Amino acid sequence: MTYLVPLVVLLPLLGAAAALILGKQPGVQRIVTIGVLSIVVAVSGVLLVVVDSSGPLVMEVGGWAAPFGIVLVVDRLAALMLVISAIVLLAVLVFSVGQGLADGDNETPVSIYHPTYLILATGVFTAFVAGDLFNLYVGFEILLVASYVLITLGGTEPRIRAGVTYIVVSLVSSLLFLASIAMIYGALGTVNIAQISLRMNDLPVDVQIILHVMLLVAFGIKAAVFPLSFWLPDSYPTAPAPVTAVFAGLLTKVGVYAIIRAETVIFPGPELNPALMVLALLTMVIGVLGAVAQADIKRLLSFTLVSHIGYMILGVALGTAAGTSAAIFYIVHHIVVQTTLFLAAGLIERQGGSTSINKLGGLLAASPVIAVLFFVPALNLGGIPPFSGFIGKLALFEASAQQGTVLAHILIGAGALVSLLTLYALMRVWNMAFWRPADDVEGYESTLLKNVSEAPNAAATQPTRTTPRIMTAVTAAMVVVSLALTVFAGPLFAVSSRAGENLEGPSYYIDIVFPGGRDD
C-alpha cells in the first residue's frame, strides 16, 4: 500500500497544473479541482484505515534507502492530519465555488484561484508526510508561497497592506527554519528526522538547546504561539472568507504538527517543557483577551484561534503520551470547528452586510439557518458539553492533572477560564448579531459593546446579495462533521491515543524508518 503515500502530494500538484492550463474554462477547472480533492479525501481515508490497522507506511523516494534517500512517512498522526485537512480543504473549496458562482465570476474569473488552492493543498500534505527536515521545509515553502498569493488575491489596498505583514513575517520564519536546518546538518551531518533523533544524544546539551530553540522559534511563528502571534489577527481577516477559513483551519496547525514532531522525535528531552507550558499559558490568556476586545467577528475569531493554539501547545508541553494524544484530538476538533466558524462568518457577512457586531442585528429572524450554523460551533469552541471541544479540553486537563506539577495545575485553571472567556466573546456575537431585533441597531447602548474596538477598514458591504444554497449547505456539512467528531469521539480518541503512544519517545519513529536495524 506504500504507493498511496506519494499520491496525496502528486495528485494535487498535477491537478494544479491541469487547473492552470484550464484557466480559460472555469467550469472544467472547478470540476478538476473538486475531483482531485475528492480523490485525495478518499486516498487519505484509506491511508488512515491501513495505517491504523496494519502499521505505518514508509515510502523511500526513488528506491534509495533511508539515510541516503528521502523518506515519506505516514504514521497514525500524519494519516489523521491528512484525512481531516483533506476534508476541510474540499469543503472550503466547494464553499468558495458556491460563492464564486453566485457572484458571477464567469465574467471576471480569478483563474489562478483554483491552481493556487491545489498548490496550498500540496504544501500542507507534503509537510504532513515529510520524513526529512529539508522536505518539511520545502513543504512549508510550497504552502507559504501559495498562501502569499491567496492572501493578496485581487490585489486591493487593504489586502496588500495585510499581506505585507504576513509575507515578511513568514519569510523571516522560513529563513530561521533554513538556518536551523543548516546548523543541524553542521552538527549531525544529516537531515533525515529519524537519523537526527538517533545522533542528537551525542551532542552536548547546550548545543541541543540552541538547535531546539531555533527550530521552535521557526515553527512558533507559523503556529502563532505568543509572542510570535502578533501577525495573525492583522493579516487573516482581510482575505476572502473561504481563504481565511482554510488558513485558520490548517496553516497554524501545520506549525503545531511540526512542533509535535520536534518535541517527540527530534528533541524528546524535557528541558524546554516548562518554558513551553508558560508560553501555552500566555498564548491562551492573551489571545482570548484580544478576542474579548473585538467588535469584528473575523478579528474576534482570529484572536480565539491564537488563544486555542495554546491548548495544543499545552498538550505537547506536558511531554506525556496522554498529553500528546489529547493535543492530537484537540487539533482535529479545532481544525473543523474553527473553519466552520469562519465559514459561518462568511455567511453572516453576506446576509448582514458587515462582520461588525455593532452593525449587525436581527439575523435570527432574518436567517434562522445561519443562526444555527453559527451557534452550534460557537458552543463547541467554547467547550460546552457534550461537544468535542469539551471532550478535548477534558482530555487535556486530565493529562495535565496526571502530570501533576504546580504549573500543570495552574494551566488547568487558566484553560477553564479561557474557555469561559471564549464562550463570553462568542455569545456576545450571538446576542448582538442574532438575538437583538434589527431595528435596535441604531443608537444601541449596551455594556457588552462599551469597550470593544472596531476593526480598521470595516466598511459595510451591500447586504442585498442572497446567500447561495451551496455555501449554506457546505457550512451545514461542516457542522455535521463537527457533530460527528462528538458522536464518534470514542473511536477518534482511541486513534489519537494510539498516535500519542507511538510518539512517546522517538524509538517508534526511528524503527519504522530504519526497519532493518539502526546501523548508524
Partner 1 sequence: MSVSIVLVVVMALLYACAVYLMLERSMTRVLLGFLLAGNATNLLILIMAGEAGLAPIVGNGVAAEDMADPLPQALILTAIVITFAVSAFLMALIYRSWRLARADDVEDDADDVAMRAGMARLLGEQAAASSDTEFGTRAQAAVSSARDLEEQDGPAAAESADSGWTEPETGRAR
Cβ atoms of 30 and 45 within 8 Å: the answer is no
Residue span binding partner 1 (CB under 8 A) among the ranges 8-16, 101-109, 414-422, 479-487 = 101-109
Quickly count: other Cβ atoms within 10 Å of residue 154's Cβ. 11
Question: Which of 55, 154, 386, 437 is in the footprint of partner 1 by CB under 8 A?
Answer: 154
Question: Which of 12, 56, 100, 361 is in the footprint of partner 1 by CB under 8 A?
Answer: 100
Q: Cell digits for 234?
A: 492583522
Q: Cell digits for 317?
A: 508541553
Q: Cell digits for 220?
A: 512558533
Question: Considering the rule CB under 8 A, would residue 134 count as an interface residue with partner 1?
Answer: yes
Residue span binding partner 1 (CB under 8 A) among the ranges 72-80, 116-124, 152-160, 488-496 = 152-160
CA pseudo-torsion sign 267, 271, 275, 280? positive
**Which residues are CB-neighbours of 144 under 8 A, at least 6 positions away?**
123, 170, 174
Taking the complex as a whole, the smallest distance from the CB of residue 488 to partner 1 amounts, in Å, to: 34
Question: Considering the rule CB under 8 A, would residue 175 count as an interface residue with partner 1?
Answer: yes
Question: Considering the rule CB under 8 A, would residue 207 count as an interface residue with partner 1?
Answer: no
- Closest to partner 1 by CB, 108 vs 447, is 108
Q: Return the H-helix or E-strand segment holding 60.
A: strand 57-60
SS3 290: helix
Question: Considering the rule CB under 8 A, would residue 238 count as an interface residue with partner 1?
Answer: yes
Question: Which of 53, 62, 63, 157 is in the footprint of partner 1 by CB under 8 A?
Answer: 157
Long-range contact set of residues 133-142: C-beta below 8 Å, sequence gap at least 24: 133/181, 133/184, 133/191, 133/192, 133/193, 133/196, 134/181, 134/191, 135/70, 135/72, 136/193, 136/258, 136/261, 137/174, 137/177, 137/178, 137/181, 140/174, 140/177, 140/222, 140/254, 140/258, 141/174
Task: Report the distance separating Cα 50 and Cα 52, nearest Å.
Answer: 6
- Closest to partner 1 by CB, 191 vs 281, is 191
Q: How far is CA 94 from CA 70, 101, 167, 391, 494, in A?
A: 34, 10, 26, 29, 30
- Closest to partner 1 by CB, 104 vs 516, is 104
Taking the complex as a whole, the smallest distance from the CB of residue 461 to partner 1 amounts, in Å, to: 7
Question: Considering the rule CB under 8 A, would residue 501 count as an interface residue with partner 1?
Answer: no
Question: Considering the rule CB under 8 A, would residue 470 count as an interface residue with partner 1?
Answer: no
Question: Considering the rule CB under 8 A, would residue 21 count as an interface residue with partner 1?
Answer: no
Cβ atoms of 323 and 341 within 8 Å: the answer is no
- Closest to partner 1 by CB, 99 vs 351, is 99
Question: Considering the rule CB under 8 A, would residue 159 count as an interface residue with partner 1?
Answer: yes
Taking the complex as a whole, the smallest distance from the CB of residue 144 to partner 1 amounts, in Å, to: 8
Taking the complex as a whole, the smallest distance from the CB of residue 64 to partner 1 amounts, in Å, to: 13
SS3 356: strand
Task: Report the distance separating Cα 64 and Cα 182, nearest Å.
Answer: 22
Cβ atoms of 89 and 250 within 8 Å: the answer is yes
Question: Considering the rule CB under 8 A, would residue 167 count as an interface residue with partner 1?
Answer: yes
Please tell me the count of residues contacting partner 1 according to CB under 8 A. 51
Question: Which of 18, 36, 181, 224 is in the footprint of partner 1 by CB under 8 A?
Answer: 181
Question: Considering the rule CB under 8 A, would residue 427 count as an interface residue with partner 1?
Answer: no
Question: Which of 85, 99, 173, 496 is in the footprint of partner 1 by CB under 8 A?
Answer: 99
Q: How far is CA 503 from CA 77, 269, 335, 347, 507, in A?
A: 9, 13, 21, 39, 8
Q: How far is CA 201 from CA 44, 181, 505, 509, in A?
A: 34, 17, 13, 16
- Closest to partner 1 by CB, 138 vs 410, is 138
Residue span binding partner 1 (CB under 8 A) among the ranges 35-43, 79-87, 154-162, 331-339 = 154-162
Residue span binding partner 1 (CB under 8 A) among the ranges 102-110, 221-229, 309-317, 332-340 = 102-110
Question: Which of 171, 207, 394, 420 is in the footprint of partner 1 by CB under 8 A?
Answer: 171
Question: Considering the rule CB under 8 A, would residue 287 count as an interface residue with partner 1?
Answer: no
Query: Which residues inside 441-460 make contact with partner 1, applying CB under 8 A?
Result: 453-457, 459
Question: Considering the rule CB under 8 A, would residue 217 count as an interface residue with partner 1?
Answer: no
In the complex, the residues that contact partner 1 under the rule CB under 8 A are 99-100, 103-105, 108-110, 134, 138, 141, 145, 148-149, 152, 154-161, 163-165, 167-168, 171-172, 174-175, 178-179, 181-183, 185-186, 191, 234, 238, 240-241, 453-457, 459, 461
